[in-house]
Amino acid sequence: AQTVTQSQPEMSVQEAETVTLSCTYDTSESDYYLFWYKQPPSRQMILVIRQEAYKQQNATENRFSVNFQKAAKSFSLKISDSQLGDAAMYFCAYRSALEYGNKLVFGAGTILRVKS
Amino acid sequence: KAGVTQTPRYLIKTRGQQVTLSCSPISGHRSVSWYQQTPGQGLQFLFEYFSETQRNKGNFPGRFSGRQFSNSRSEMNVSTLELGDSALYLCASSLLGIHDSGTEAFFGQGTRLTVV
């Protein structure tokens, strides 16, 4: 079974600064998808960024980028120019590409606080 | 385009009762997944339905069940409620077809169930 570990329960960042959230995962599969989801106080999970394991290039979405290290099974999220609206719980998630369906395995989450 | 709609938003039930939660996916989405979110266990996959068939199931007791209707709307049912069933129940929908494993899952705002 796959597992996802987020070792930082809470992080803080100053507005306009950069912060990196860590995520490691364990799998014996070679093909899979990795995601970062954001859950603000409204509770609705919002996809921030996704990475296909077969792609070597790190995904980027505006101020959000990932550092995907497949051999190390590491998938960190970098938020540049942090904004107050980035404050939320961030979840790292794994999905197998070998199984049909949309079963996501989530990490425990990291609370991100943004200070003005 | 309307998002994923979950009803009700809040629910209080008594131990031993049963409860039914509803999820209306985004129009055109055929896959609906359910997750339980608790402070202690985090986000855990319950089950997924695609074209009215359960495609994946997590490690939950048989008291947790679900179904999907021909219009893709899904319901989950919990019978003989226990205090530990208190949680945020999230529903996610996606376009996922048989050969498409990489589609994004869109989440609803969840139903907060409290068992007293």
Report which DSSP code applies to A58: P
* Interatomic CA distance for residues A10 and A14, integer angstroms: 14
Q: Is B42's CB within 8 Å of A50's CB? A: no
Place of tokens 């949309």: A102
**If you count them, how many residues does chain A have?**
116
* Interatomic CA distance for residues B50 and A23, integer angstroms: 30
Contacts of A102 in chain B (CB under 8 A): 31, 33, 48, 56, 92, 94, 96, 103, 105
Name the residue in chain B with its Cα closest to that of A33: B102
List B38's β-bridge partners, or say none.
B42
The beta strands (E) that lie in chain B are given as 5-7, 10-13, 19-24, 31-38, 42-50, 53-57, 64-68, 74-78, 87-94, 106-107, 111-115
Residue-wise pLDDT for B22-64, tens only, equals 999 999 898 999 999 999 999 999 999 998 999 889 999 999 9
Residue-wise pLDDT for A58-107, tens only, equals 999 999 999 999 999 999 999 999 999 999 999 999 998 877 777 899 99
Rounded to the nearest integer, the mean pLDDT of chain A is 94
User: For residue B10, how far is the Cα from the chain centroid?
Assistant: 14
Residue B2 binned pLDDT confidence (cut-offs 50, 70, 90): confident
Percentage of the residues of chain B whose pLDDT score is greater than 70: 94
Using an 8 Å CB-CB cutoff, list residues of chain A that contact chain B.
33, 37, 42-47, 50, 52, 91, 95-97, 99-109
